[in-house]
Amino acid sequence: MSKRQLNQRNPLFELPSNPGTDKGKVVLFFPTAGIEQNVWFPFPYLYLGPFIELTGYTVTVIDARVEENWRQCVESELRDCVAFGITSMSGPDLNSALEAAHIVRESNSNLPIIWGGHHVSALPEQALQENVADYVCLGTSE
DSSP labels, the chain:
--HHHHHHH-TT----S-TT---EEEEEEE---S--SSPPP-HHHHHHHHHHHHTTEEEEEEETTT-TTHHHHHHHHGGGEEEEEEE--SSTHHHHHHHHHHHHHHH-TTS-EEEESHHHHH-HHHHHHTTS-SEE--S---
For the stretch 104-127, pLDDT in tens is 999 999 999 998 888 888 888 888
For the stretch 57-78, pLDDT in tens is 999 999 888 888 999 999 999 9
pLDDT of residue 20: 56
Specify the pTM.
0.77
Question: pLDDT-based confidence at 13, cuts 50/70/90?
Answer: very low
Per the model's pLDDT, the better-predicted residue between 53 and 5 turns out to be 53
